[in-house]
Every structure is written in structure tokens, then in C-alpha cells.
Amino acid sequence: MQYSLPSFLIVSSLLFCLGMYTVLTRRNAIGILMGIELVLNGAGLNFVAFSRFLEPSQTTNLLSGQIFTLFIIAVAAAEVAVALAIVLSLYSRMKSIDVEDFKNLRG
Amino acid sequence: MTNLIDPLHMKNMLWLIPCLPLAGAVINGLLGKRLPVRLVHFVGCASVFLAFLISVAGFFTLLGIEEPHQRFLIQPLYQWILTVWHQGSFSLQVAFRLDPLSITLCLVVTGVGFLIHLYSVGYMAGDESQARYFAYLNLFTFSMLLLVLADNLLLMFVGWEGVGLCSYLLIGFWFTDLEKAQAGMKAFIVNRVGDFGFFVGLMLLFWTLFEGSNGTITGLGFQQLRESIPLLNSASPILGVGLATWIGLLFFVGATGKSAQIPLYIWLPDAMAGPTPVSAFIHAATMVTAGVYMIVRLNFLYVIAPAAMAVVAVVGGVTAFYAATIALTQNDIKRVLAYSTISQLGYMFLAVGVAAFSTGIFHLVTHAFFKALLFLGAGSVIHAVHSNDMLEMGGLKKYMPHTYLTFMAAYLAISGIPPFSGFVSKDEILWATFNSHLPVAGLGKALWALGLLTAGLTAFYMTRLVALTFMGGFRGGLEKEKHLHESPSVMTFPLMALAVLSVVGGVIGLPAVTHLPNLLHDFLGPVLSSHGASGHQAHAYWLELLLMLISIGVATTGIYLGWLFYVKRPELPGKVAARFAKMYQVLEQKYYVDEIYQALFVRPLLKLVALSGRFDLNTIDGAVNLSSRVTAKFSFLIGWEDLKIVDGAVNGLAEIFKRWGAALRHLQTGKIQHYLYSVVLGIFGLCVFMFLF
Amino acid sequence: MIPENFIQSNLQGISFIGPELILTLAILLILLVGVLLPYWRHRILFTILAVAGLAGSVLPLWKLPQPAPDLTYLSNLFVWDWLTFLSKPFFAVVGVLTILLTQVTGEIDNSEYSECTILVLAVTMGMMLLVASTDLLMIYLAFETMGILSYLLVGIRARDERSGEAALKYVLYGAFTSGTMLFGFSLLFGLAGSTDLLAISQKVAFASQHPQDRLLLIVAILFFLAGLLFKTASFPFHFWCPDVYEGAPTPITAFLSVGPKAAGFVLFIRLFYPLFATGHDATIYEAVSGLDWPSILALVSAITMTLGNLAAIHQNNLKRLLAYSSIAHAGYLLMGIVSLSDLGLRSVVFYLVVYLFMNVGAFAVVAMVASAGGSEEIDSYRGLGARAPYVCVAMAIFLFSLIGLPPFAGFVGKVYLFAAVIYKKIYWLAVVAALNTVISLYYYLRIVKAMFLEKPTETIQIQVPLSSRVLLLALLVPTLGLGIYWQPLARVVSGMF
Amino acid sequence: MLPDHLLSWMIFFPLLGAGLILFVPKRYPTVMKGIALAATIPPLWWAANLYVQFDRWGTGFQYVEKVPWIRAFNIHYYLGIDGISVPMVLLTALLSFICIIASWNINEHVRGYFALFLLLDTSMKGVFCALDFFMFYVFWELMLLPMYFLIGIWGGPRKEYAAIKFFLFTLVGSVLMLVVMLVFYFGSVEPATGLHSFDLTILADQSVHQAFLRSHTIRWLCYLGLFIGFAIKIPLVPFHTWLPDAHVEAPTAISVILAGILLKMGTYGILRISYPLLPDMAREFALFAATLGLISIIYGALCAMAQTDLKKLIAYSSISHMGFVMLGMSVFSNTTAINGAVLQMFNHGTVTAMLFLLVGVIYDRAHIRDIDSFGGLAKTMPVYAGYTGLAFFAALGLPGLSSFISEALVLVGSFQQYKIITITATTGIILTAAYFLWTMQRVFLGPQNKKWADLPEISLREAFTLTPLALIVVLLGFYPMPVLDLIGATLKHTVAMVVG
């Protein structure tokens, strides 16, 4: 069953918007991280879709999109790892990962 | 003496006349305190005497020059001001000019000046800062000589304001007494108002001639002005009034300021706060006559501005009458003489107004003699009685014979009794006014009548003065009467000298009817413009004789009335005053002029000053105090906790920035949610802008 | 079979990434030493190693060939042009200064010291890579290494919850914006089909004529801006900056305010000039028709400056004040980017160099006073002029340079930026910047006023050790020197384009 | 024996002194003061030589020193003086020397005070000799730093507010000037080298200006920017509110320098930059500038009369006198007015310096400046009353003293072009006379005030600072040619250039 490029783009945009929505509404740090993951995956999907559907004449080498997505996944993992480390260190001291509690740096 | 007469040699000595008194002033001023008093006196009097000798030498040098039109010596000292531009240049030299007019004034200033310096030695004996007094007096002599000898208008202006400064310093000489200092300040500021008019006239004159002669005229030298004055007629009139008239009027404003004519005369009566020799020298003989000298010096300008001449004449006449009326009711001996001076100056301006320039100068000279004598006499009376009030004097004839005799000479001169000098010069003025032809028909005759009436009033109040001071019994209390004494000889000698001059003075300007040469008129001839109205036209001698008799009659009736009121029946003045109570009161209060000036000028100015001071502090600058009160009232309205209502543009601006800063600080909430939300908002905002452009 | 020239070109390419390799070597060495020796006694050792690594990284640069705009290496992932040639030593200097500052001030105690040096070296390496890369993938990778490691750097002080909170905010904000930028990259990849900037720039010029492609380009630029404006802390993506700068330890804040921010601006130049501007040969470029991004950036620049300056007026905490001041300076730097011209680029790089010294100087003084017993609040600075004259005079010079007063380097930097904007006839921005200088005067002078003109409220004695004084002197010399005679730097900077 | 590169020596010699002072240990304040004094004597001697050897008839710049400084921007270290700058340099050298002596009783942070003072001296002389716009701007802003600290640290009660206000006002002006400077830099191409240039002599040649610098709006905006920058410094009325605060709070010697020299920077800037670079705009702005000058005269006098603080009164009188300078400078139909203006700059420098030194004398003794609390001082301090009398009469423009000549020239000159403005300005001399005499009366005349009966007479040191100024004021009153022939040729050239 043939899927056209726009459908993929729609899905990736959806992913992006969902990610953005999650980031905005979640009060829980981990929730926000999940939202960010969604945004990154949206971008990754975009890369794969473009790489798949663009004719050879338009692209210099076929697989650069896929390779890019691989790297995205790797970087996303690293990012989450660091973020979780920071959240954990905060949790150990503040006993809460609710984003609302961290607001004494302001003005 | 002969080599002095040689004009070339004299020309190089001209600068000595003003500079000797200056040297005297500097020596006394800087070293005065350390010198013994006698040396201070010597330096003060000698410098003026030397100047007098050189003036006399100058006078004979001028006489030595046969050709009348060549009778002037000009000594340029150095280049004073020079600015050059393409279309022309503005260059002035410091130069002294000795011609018949200035030598006459020089002689009066240095001659009378020397006598007054001598008199001051006696009068000021015992005062602790005599050095300062003589320094100021010498400085004044220097400024007056500079004014008289200056060869261009701006240098004359330097002398003009220099005398103003010295009169300020001398009026407020005993500065520890506050209202004496106030009188000095009043004199200087009123003079400054007059100088404003003088300066604007000077500017208008220069630029009109500059444009007229498209750049050839470069300075304000009298010679240059005299030659290019016809250009004024070609200049287009402003507001319908010819340029010459404008300039004439502006200079006349300066003259009223300096010579105390209406409306700027208010400072002279208060100037009596100064020592009496000062009043005699400055406020009678020399400074106040500067205005008359200036108009005579610029006679070539006034001659082509008949309207200005008419104004001068009218103001002169009215001032004469007006001042005489006030003099009737004054009890302070020096104020009576002050108003009498204003009145006599009015006569001089009347003379000059009707183009009788030489007569004006003649009255100036004779007035200098007898008015200085009157003041010095009054001075020695005050010196003895230690009070100015005539009601505390009386019967001084017995105690001060010399003063009395010399005072009588001056009294007869000023009242216009022949053959005294006062009569000759005043009658000459009345005669010139009578047959002058001023633009308004019959104005000459009206002014003559006014002058005649004033002559009568003058005779009356002078008799009143003499009666109250010298006749009758001493009203100043017994113990004072015991040590009434004649003034020392150093004071009475000048009195006698001036008395002789007052009596003999008339000879230099004998009227035509006596078929004797009018020496002064011929001497001043070349300086004055040719078609002067007065002079020996062929006219009915009998008319002149008749008028002379009328004026003598008026003078004698004045004296008789004075004698009747104050000697024969002393109670009469009280009754007359009671009947015309209101009119007497007005005269007593000097027509409430001081109060009117205070209300018209001084108080509004002070209000404006206070307003601009507050305006500057609060509206432009925004001082904290006023604004905090305003803020307290309004801050609840807007509810921001540290709001400051815009207090003045400048601080207000700083406040606005601070308030925006505070607002932005609230933007930084510290909540992560808000930050992430701001990312989305930011992208959306940029997107909107992207599509806008 | 891999073609001969391919290997040969790659081997040759290795020599180009010499600096990065040396840094990695240094990191490994420090890790080794950290494991072997108990770390709390050998703080100075790590400093020496780190500084040696950074200094060493600069050495290979001299042997490399003359930089040229088209000299790409490692299968054109990187380009070796003037910008890279100047940026690598610049970042090395930034690294050295940060490490010296951490060594001198006691903010980071010995337990975390080795990690801190490693992270600083790693971030520096990330920046060096970012500056050279001309491939979307490589840019993303370098951007992320720099980003993620700097999150860690901010959160390095485990016990201080302020540093934790700052790190959290930084990581969430940073991840989200870099995610958005990545999405922009993907869109651009979709349009051009390749990740190489040169190829993309040809496609973009062609695509901007068609309306629907232009829409895609606009969205791509927007997402680019999100990432870049975040990194350079400009409006509207600056909200993280004050909190993170205040929370992080002062040396790290100094590092953040100069290192990554400069990398952000160089990335701006790397991305926007080839992709969205034409006319490279002439000295004046034109934005790609239809995409008028310079006027947007001009507006952003104006708002950033004004916001930074106004918000700084009321600050009492000096680190927060300097945070807002760095936002304002980001606004000034954007002025250089906005004026699309050689002079504009030169002014940005010149200002970055000048900004490095005066900003690190200011942060250094704040760090020293804090570690010598005072607080970061302005109260501890009242009347300090009498008690610690050397430090205060240094602080005054840095602040006057930040304002942009003549005898100091800041003024020359400002002149360059003003010249760039006026050269492009954007007068309104020049006037706005001029007025901003006046507003900035107010809050910088508040500190100077506190130090010299006011009576002290605290009486603690501030003793600054000799090593700090030497570091301050090292920062003072360029601030003053460049202010008086900046011809050599001007020649180096102009050599680039 | 004069060193070549005379101007550079004169400008940077005080800086050497400042450097030297930094190394003197804290325990020897008098040594520091000695060094400071020694640092001002040679420049005074060189300035005097400069004055004597200056060629009165040459219209170009003399003692020129031109060395390339920054080739990237084609900036040159370009010094040179002409008729306008010689009197100003002489005034700066003289007043610096006098102020060092006048500030002998400063005794806290002596090192900082004298080092900053000499730095200020260097920057002032730099402004008067700079011929390169960039260098002019650097020296112009270099002046702000020392001034801020001198007012801020050694000032009176509200010193912080006054210092920050002074800095903010001047910086607004100079930042606008920076923008205009760069517009001129890019708007002009040097014919010889094809480069842009900051050189004022090149920028003055209108053919060098490029197309966009010829459009009327750009030139109008540039002139306005420069005019605001300089008007703040003069100060003209709407921008003057910093002056009274700065004067009142500054220590005596600093308010002498502030009034004596810094106020002249504004008018000097207009003559050196605005007129040569934008002559057509100068003509267009002339009436506006003359009106502002007039307002300054009248408004300054009125505000002066409303003051109770002696120093504030003199500050407002400075605004009034500088109004004359502005009026004189906006007349181009003859050189009398502009000659008067430049002479007034010099005269106002000496007269106001005397006034502030005198206020300093009474402030050191009585520690208050309120006019109404004094009275009858002439009795207790006659010599002091003498000096003040001379200064007051010079300030109110009494003929025979220096200010009269310059005010008369300004009024006579400007009468040709603006009749009504000049007549209103002439009323200014009445207001000035009124408030000076009123002050004279409230402070000196009247009965001796017991409270101040024991005030010591003026000391020798103070007399030594006042006497040279008094001599200049009297000498220039009777014989102003030494300054007039100095500035005559240059101003004739300037007016010819503006009239075009």
C-alpha cells in the first residue's frame, strides 16, 4: 500500500505539536522530558521521510537522512540521560520534581 | 609757559588730564591705609589740581589757534577694538579729543572738582576710611574726564558707566547703614536702565550709517559721525518715525537716566545719602550734566531730528516745573537742593531742546558754580548742626557769617537776580525758548511761560530755604546752639572762591542786548552746528529787554512771597497748607512716585523672578520635595508601590526608565513553565513579524 | 573499495582537526590522573593539565595551509576559512580563562574540580567543532555536545540547590529549543535533499522564488532563530539566561556568557550568510529576495538591547545584573549580524574578542569578592573602593569598558558595531543603540558609585590573593591596550573576509 | 628652548605627573600636591610661548602634528591649533595651574584627587588641539570619567545625584555625536586615498561629501545631533538643569574648571565641527540658536535672581553669560559678533573662575553658602570685599572691565542681523546688574553681622590665585587687542566659510 510523502510530514508535524503541547502542560519534569523526546522523534521522522521519498536526482547521497536520524536518536538518549541525572540530584534534595517548586531564582 | 601753548606739545599731554586723577585713585586705593592721612589728602587734591593746570594750558593752546574751525587737538593712544570682515570693519581707538566744548567741561570738572576736594579734606576729617573716599573721588574725576575727552561714543560710554559706578560707590560710602547702600544700588540700576537706551541708540546709529555708507564707516569717532550724519535722512524710517529721531530719542533716554530727568530721576533724591561734597561734586556739578554734554556733543544729530529736539525741550521744561513744585514742601535741606538741581537740569535740557546749545552749556557752567556752592554751604551747615532737617536750624546767620555770605551769593544767583551769573544764563534760556520755532506752533511760548513760572517757584523755595536755615531763631535746642561754630578755613575758602565765580560767572555769556561779545558762544561756535537758533540775530532789543524785566519781576515777587511766608508771618505756611491740605500732601509725598514705581516695575519683576526660579526647579528639573507631596496624593490612584508621578521632565525621564525596568523584572517569574511557554510565544511572534514585512 | 584520494583526503583532513584531538587527549589524561590520585589534594595538577591541553590545541594551527573560503576537509564536513582560523584560538583562550578563574576562586571545591575541568575542555572542543562545520549533521552534533555538557557544567555543584535549579531550567529550555532547531534542519533537508550547506544554499536561492517553498523556508528560518537566539540569549529566547547565570557558579557563568554565546553568533554567520544571503563577492550582501530576515533581526536586536538594559537597572544581585548586561550586549552584537556586510562580520568578531576580556573580567571580580567573604549583592560593594582599591579600580575599568567609554576597548567595539549599522544606513537602530548606551551607563555606574562614592555598610576585609591580581591584570591589559591601539587586532579581523 | 611636538608635550605632560603621583606613598600628601603643581607649570610656560609665537595672520592650522594611529579606520593622531584654540589652551593651562593651588586644602584621598585632576587637564587640552574627529571624540568622552569621580567623591551633600546627572546629560549628547561622526565618516571619501576619513580639515571641504550626505534631511539631522550634543555642554536653556547641581556639589577648584573651561567645550565644538562641516545648516539654524541664546540670557538672569545659594547664583549667571556667546556665534553678516563671542568665552572663563574661587574662600571659612545668612562682610574682610567687588562688576559687564568689551561686541555685531533679539538681550545687562548688586548688598553691605565678625581675612595663597585673574580682567577691559588680534583672522575665515 503506497504512502505518499505528505502523509509522513503530517504525522511528523503532529508528533512535533504533541511534543510541544506536552512540554507546555506537564508540571512534572519527567513529563516535559517526554515531550522533548516527541519533538526530537518528530524531526527524526521528517528526515527519514524526506530521505525515502526524494528522487535520487534531488539528493546528493541517498542515505544521509537515515544516518541523521540515527544520530538524533543517539543524541536524544544522551540528552535524556543528562536531564534525568539533574532531575534525580534535585529530587534527592528537594524531594519533589514538580517544576512549580523551583522558582526561587527570579526577578 | 609758551612751549606748553605749542599745540603739538599739548597734544601729547592730553592723556595726562584723565590719567593723573586715575593715578591718584590707584595710589590712595591700594596704598591708602598705609599712608598718613595728610599724604592721602595731598595726593587726592594735587592730582586734580595738576589736571586743572593742564586743562588751563590746553584752554590757552586752543585760544592760540587762530582759525576757529582748526581749534581741536586729537591724541590717539592705541587701537582699542578691531574686527575685520569682507564687507567692512569695526575699529575703535582709545583717543582723547580736546575742543572748545570738552575744554569747558574739563575746566568745570577739574576746577570745581579741586575746590570740592579741598572742602572734603575738612568735611571728611575724622572719618576712618578717608583714603577710600579720596580714591573713589579721584576715580570719579578720571571717569568724568574720560567721558568728556573721549573721541568716540563707545569710549564715552566707558566714562558714562564709570561715573555711574563711582556714584554707586560714593552714595553707599557709609555702607554699614543699609538704606544708604540701598540708595547706591537704586542709583546704579536706574542709570543702567538709561545706559540700555544709550547702548541701543549707539548700535542703531552705527549700523544705519554702516549700511548707508555701505561699509566705509568703521567706528564711532565724532569726526566720522559728523561727516556721515546726512546719511540718516536717506535711511528708511521705522514705524513711520525717521531714523535720526529714533536715535536721538534713544540717546535722550540715556541722558534722562544719567541727568535725572522724568521718568528716570527717582535715584537723585535718594542719592543725597552720600557725603555732601559728593552730592555737590557729582550730583550737582558734573555727573548729572553728562546728559546735557552728550546731547550738545551730538548736536549735529539732534539738529536734523526736530521731533527729538521737541521732546527734549518738553521733557526738560516739564521736569523743571515738576521738580520745583516738589522742592516747595521738602524739609530736608539736601533734598530741596536735589530737586532744585533736577529743576535746573530741566532748564538746561529746555535750552538744548530749543537748539540753544551754547546757552545750555553756559547755564551748565554757572549752575555748577552756584549749585556746588549751595551744597557746600548746606554741607557746612549740616557739619555744624549735625542734621539735615531745616526745622531744627534757623538763625545761623549770627553763628556762621562766612557760610551765610557765600550762601546768599549763590541764593541770589539761583533766584535769578541780576547781575549774578544765574540770572544771566537762565534769562538767556528763557529768551531762547521764547523765540525758538519748534515743530508745534506756540510750544516755544508755552515752554517760556512754564519756565518763567518755574523761575518764580525757584525764587520762592530758595528764599524759604534761606529763611528757615539762616533767619529767625535757632530751633535746634539750646545745648546744640552752644557749640555752633563757623567751619574751618579749608572749607570756607572753596565757598568764597565759588561765591566769586557765581557772582562774576555771568560775564562769559552776556546777552545780545548788552552789545558785548558773548564769549562762550563765540568760543563754542565751531563745535556746534552752524544754524543754531540762538545767537545775535537782528531782533528787537526792546523785546529782549522787556522779557528780562518780566523775569526780574517774577524773581522779586517769588523772593517777596518767600520772605512774607517764612520771615514776616511764619504762621502763614501752616494756614496755606491746611487750606490746600490734599494738594500739599501730594507734593509732600513727591506725587507717590516711588510707590508707583515699586508697584509698576519692582514687584512684578520679583514675582517673575520667583516664578522662573520655581519653574526651573520643578518643571524642567523636578526637585524631589514638591514631587513627593504630589505623589503621595496620587499614588493610591494608580497603585504601583514605588511609583513617582513624573516630577519634571528630566527626573521624570529617569523615573520612567526605572519604572519600565521594574515592570520587566516582574516578567522574569522564575517558573519554567512560563519560560517554555515564552519559547512558543516567541516563535509565534517572529512568525507574525516575518509575514508583516 | 574506497577510492585512493578519499583516504588520502581524509588522512590529510585529520591534521586539520589537530586541536580537537589534542583536547580529547588532555581530557583522557585528566580522567586517568583523576582515577589514580585521590582528587582532593591535586587541584593545581588538573589546572596545569587543562591549560597545557588548551594551549597545545592552538599549536597545530600554524602549520596548516592558508585558510580559504572553499577549503573543506573530511569530505566537506568542515571548512578551513579565516573565521575558523580565528575562532579556534579564541575558544582556547576562553577555556584557559575559565579554568584559571575556577582555580583562583574557591567556588568549585576540590571534589568536583576534575569533572569541572573535563567538562570545560569538552565544551571547548564542541565549540571548536561547531565553528568549523558546514554540514547540518555536524552542526547539530557539535551544537548538542556543547549544549548537553554545559547543562552539566551549570549543575556541577551538587550540594547547592540554586545550581541544581539553574541546571534544570537550562536543560529543559535548551533541549526544547534545540529540538525545535532540529525540526528546522529537517525541513531544510527536505527542501534541499542534502545536509551540506553549499548544496542547500544553491537550492534555497532557487526555491525562494516559488511561494509555497518560500513558506517552508520561512518556517525553517523561524526554527533556526529559536535555536540561535536561545544560544546567544537574545529576546525572545532569553528568559533562561538570568536564572541560569545567577544559579551557576560564577566561573561557569563567565564561561557561558562568552563561550557558547560567541559560538552562537559564529553559527549565525555560518548558517545565515551562505544560506539566506547573496552577493558574496561584493562587500555588501543582500538578503535572499522575499525573505527579509534582517529587518526582523534588527527589531529583535533593538528589543534585546532595550530589554537587557532596562531590566538591569533595578538589579541588586551583581551576577543577575551582569546577566542582563550580557543580554544587552547580545543585542549590540545582533546589530553587526543585521548589517549584512564585510564590515558587519568583522565588527561582530572584533566585538566578541573585546567582549571576552571585559565580561570575563567583570565576572572574575564578582567571583573574587564573593569567594573573599563578600556576597554577590551590591551591599557588599559599598565603600569597597577604600578597602580593596586594586579590585575596585579593575572593576571600574571593566564596567566603563562595558559602557563603551573611549579609552577602553568596549568603546572601539561599539564604534565598529555603530560603523557597521551606519554603513548599511539603518540609522534608527544606531540611534536606539546610542540611547541604550546611556541607559546602560546608569546601572553600570550604580556599581561604581557604590564602590567609590558611598559609605561601607559591611566592614569585612576583602583580601584578594596575588594569583587573582595577576589574572585581573591579564584581563586589564587587553581591555586598556585594545582601547588605545587596536590596529593589530583590526588587521587580523579584516584579514578574514 | 621649546621641545618640538610642542602640542603633544603640552597635552601629555600632566598625564606624566598623574602617573608619578600614583607611586608616591600615602604618607606624603604635600609631595603629591607638589608634583601636581610641577606638572602644570611647563604646560603653562609652553602655552605662553605658543601664544607669543602664534602667527596672527595665517588662516591655516599651526604647530600641526599628524601621525597615522589606526590605519584600519584611517584615523590619525592629528593635532593643530588656530586662532580659536590658542586662547582656550592658554585659559586651560592657566586655570589648571590656579586650581591646583586653590585645591591645596583637599586632604582626603589626595592621590586620587590630583591624579584625576591631571587626567582631566590632559583631556581638556586634547579636545582643544584635536583636529581628527575621532580623536576629538575620544578626548571629549575622556573628560567625563575624572569629572564624575571629582564631583562624586569630593563633592558636597548631594554629590552622587549631581555627578550621575552630569554624566548622563553629557553622555546623551556625546552618544548622538558618535552616530553623527560615523555618518560623516562613511559619508566622505578622501580624494587622495579614496578612503573614508575622520580628518576635520578634509571633511570641511564640501566636495568630499558623498551623495547621501548631500541630502537636506540627513544634513539637518546631523546638525541637530551635533547641536544637541554641544548645547548640553554650553548649556543652553532647555538642557541646562545639570549645571546648577554640578556646580553646587562640586568642590571649589572643580567648579572653577567646570565653569571656566568645560562650558567652553560646547561653543568650541560648534566652531570647530558644526560650522566647518555643515556651513549651510549653520546658516539655517542661526535664528534658532540665537533665540536659544537669548532665552538663556534672560532666563538665566531671572533664575539667578531667585537663588539663595551663592554658588547656584553664579551657576545661573554662567548660563546667562554663555547665552551671549551663543547669540554672538549665530551671526554671520559680520565678524564683530563672533569675535565678541570667542572673547566672551575667554573672559567668562577668567571672571567665573574668580567668582567661584571667591565663593570657595567664604565657604572654607563659614561652611555655608546661603546669601541671606551673611551681611556686612565688607567690614570684617575688606580686601575680600574688594576682590569680590571687582569680580561682581566684571561679571555684570561694567565698561573698563573685560566682560563689557565682549558683551558689547556681541550686541553690536548681532544688532545687524537680529534687531529685536539683540534689544531684548540688551535688557539682560539690566537684570545682571540687578542680581549682582542685590547679592553684593545682602552679603557685603549693611551692618556688620556679629556671627561672622571673627572671619579671618583672605589668605596669601587665596590672594595669589585671584590676583592674576584680576589683572587679566582689568587689562583686557582697557586693552583687549592681545586676544582680539589673535582670533580676528581665524574668525574672518570661519565666517567667510559659513557664508560660503
Q: Are D247 and D262 in contact (CB under 8 A)?
A: no
DSSP B510: -
pLDDT at D151 over 70: yes
Contacts 24+ apart (CB under 8 A), B584-590: B584/B329, B587/B325, B587/B326, B587/B328, B587/B329, B588/B329, B590/B269, B590/B326
Per-residue burial over C253-264, b if 16 or more Cβ lie within 10 Å, else e, is: bbbbbbbbbbbb
Q: Which backbone phi and psi does D244 adopt, to 5 degrees?
A: -60, -45
pLDDT at residue B532, rounded to an integer: 45
Report residue A65's pLDDT band, with 50, 70 and 90 as the boundaries: confident
Distance from C-alpha of D59 to C-alpha of D75, rounded to nearest angstrom: 24
CB atoms A46 and C180 under 8 Å: no
In the predicted model, is pLDDT for residue D332 greater than 80?
yes
Q: Is residue A77 part of a domain?
A: yes
CATH number reported for the structural domain that contains residue A50 in this entry:
1.10.287.3510
Domain of A89 in residue numbering reads as 5-101
Cβ–Cβ contact B578 with A under 8 A: no
Q: How far is CA D182 from the centre of its chain?
A: 26
Q: How confident is the model at residue D316 (pLDDT cuts 50, 70, 90)?
A: very high
Range in B125-134, B533-542, C226-235, D333-342 the model is least confident about: B533-542
> DSSP for B224-243?
HHHHHTTHHHHSPPBTTB-H
Chain C CB contacts of D113 under 8 Å are none
Rounded to 5 degrees, what are φ and ψ at B292? -65, -45
The answer to whether the Cβ–Cβ distance between D437 and B199 falls below 8 Å is no
Query: Could you read off the pLDDT of C250-307 as tens digits, one per residue?
Result: 999 999 999 999 999 999 998 888 877 776 666 777 777 777 888 889 999 999 999 9
Residue B673 in contact with partner chain C when CB distance is under 8 A: no
Contacts of B31 in chain D (CB under 8 A): none
Contact B676 C172 (CB under 8 A): yes
Instruction: Name the band, by pLDDT with cuts 50, 70 and 90, for residue B64.
Output: confident
Could you tell me how many helices (H) and strands (E) chain C has, helices first?
20, 4
pTM score of the predicted model: 0.89
Four-residue CA torsion sign, B532, B538, B539, B544: positive
Which of C176 and C43 is assigned the larger pLDDT? Answer: C176
**What is the average pLDDT across B381-408?**
85
Of C212, C211, C236, C208, nearest to C222 (Cα)? C236
Is the pLDDT assigned to residue B638 strictly greater than 50?
A: no
Residue B635 has pLDDT above 60, yes or no: no
Q: What average pLDDT score do residues D253-262 get?
A: 93
Instruction: Specify the higher pLDDT residue, B438 or B248.
Output: B248
A-chain residues near C320 (CB < 8 A): 107
pLDDT digits (tens, 9 = 90+) for C214-247: 888 888 889 989 999 999 999 889 999 999 999 9
Determine the pLDDT at residue C2: 59
A62 found inside a domain? yes
State the ipTM, two decimals.
0.86
Which of C165, C222, C232, C276 is the best mutation test for B, with the most CBs of B within 10 A? C222
* Chain D hits for B613, Cβ within 8 Å: 302-303, 305-307
Mean pLDDT of D265-291: 94
Terminal Cα distance for chain D, rounded = 41
Q: Which three cell numbers stand for residue D476?
A: 583686557
Contact check, Cβ <8 Å, B90/D434: no
φ, ψ of residue D197 to 5 degrees: the values are: -150, 150
Q: What are phi and psi of D428, to 5 degrees?
A: -55, -35
pLDDT attached to residue B640:
42
Lowest mean per-residue pLDDT among A79-83, B45-49, D106-110:
D106-110
- B671 to chain A: nearest residue by CA? A103
Spatial separation of the C-alpha atoms in residues B166 and D378, rounded to whole Å: 17
The nearest alpha carbon in chain D to C491 belongs to: D72
The 10 Å Cβ neighbour count of residue A100 is 11
Using CB atoms within 10 Å of the CB of residue D220, give its burial: 0 to 12 exposed, 13 to 18 middle, 19+ buried. Answer: middle
pLDDT for the residue numbered C202: 83
Nearest to B670 among A24, A32, A104 (CB): A104
Segments making up each domain of chain D, as ranges: 284-500
Q: Residue B536 pLDDT more than 50?
A: no
pLDDT 10s digits, B407-466: 888 988 888 888 888 888 888 888 888 888 778 878 888 899 999 999 999 999 999 888
- The DSSP string of D432-488 is HHHHHHHHHHHHTSSSPPGGGTTPPPPPHHHHHHHHHHHHHHHHHHH--HHHHHHHH
C433-454 pLDDT, tens per residue? 999 999 999 899 989 988 888 8
pLDDT at B119 over 50: yes
Give the best-scoring range by mean pLDDT among B118-122, B567-571, D284-288.
D284-288
pLDDT in tens, B259-316: 988 888 889 988 888 889 998 998 888 888 899 999 999 988 888 888 899 999 999 9
C5 pLDDT band (50/70/90 cuts)?
low
Q: What is the tens place of the pLDDT at every residue in D397-445? A: 999 899 999 999 999 999 999 999 999 999 999 999 999 999 998 888 8
Q: Which three cell numbers stand for residue D432?
A: 545682571
Of C169, C177, C292, nearest to B693 by CB-CB distance is C292
Report the pLDDT averaged over residues A45-53: 89
Chain A residues with CB-CB distance to B673 below 8 A: 24, 27, 99-100
- pLDDT value of residue A57: 64
The confidence score (pLDDT) of residue C204 equals 83
Taking the CA of residue C445 and the nearest CA in chain D, the distance in Å comes to: 8
CB contact under 8 A, D70 and C487: yes
Let me know if residue A71 belongs to a domain.
Answer: yes
Q: What is the mean pLDDT of residues B79-99?
A: 89
Contact B200 D423 (CB under 8 A): yes
Q: Is the pLDDT of residue A56 over 70?
A: no
The answer on pLDDT for B627 being more than 80 is: no
CA distance D160 to chain C (A): 7
pLDDT at C25: 93
Domain ranges of chain B: 2-79+94-230+243-588, 622-692
Q: Is B677 within 8 Å of chain A by CB?
A: yes
Mutate which of B653, B667, B675, B684 to test chain C, going by most C C-beta atoms within 10 A?
B675
> Under an 8 A CB cutoff, do A16 and C183 touch?
yes
Q: Give the H or E element holding residue B78.
A: strand B73-85
D203 with D213: CB under 8 angstroms? no
Residue from D133, D168, D179 whose CB has the most chain C CBs within 10 Å, to mutate: D179
Chain centre to alpha carbon of residue C393: 25
Q: Which of B661, B670, B686 sits opposite C222 (nearest CB)?
A: B686
Mean pLDDT value across chain B: 85
Tell me the β-bridge partners of D392. Answer: none
pLDDT on residue C51:
93
Residue B510 pLDDT greater than 50, yes or no: yes
D interface toward C at CB cutoff 8 Å?
69-73, 137-139, 141-142, 144-145, 148-149, 152-153, 159-160, 163-164, 167-168, 171-172, 175-176, 178-179, 182-183, 185-186, 212, 221
Residues on chain C touching D178 (C-beta within 8 angstroms): 414-415, 418, 434
The band of B645, judged by pLDDT with boundaries at 50, 70 and 90, is very low
Q: HEC string of D172-200?
A: HHHHHHHHHHHHHHHHECCCCCCCCCCEH
Mean pLDDT of chain C: 88
**Secondary structure of residue B174 in the 3-state scheme:** coil
Residue C245, chain B, CB below 8 Å: the answer is no
pLDDT bucket at B644, cuts 50 / 70 / 90: very low
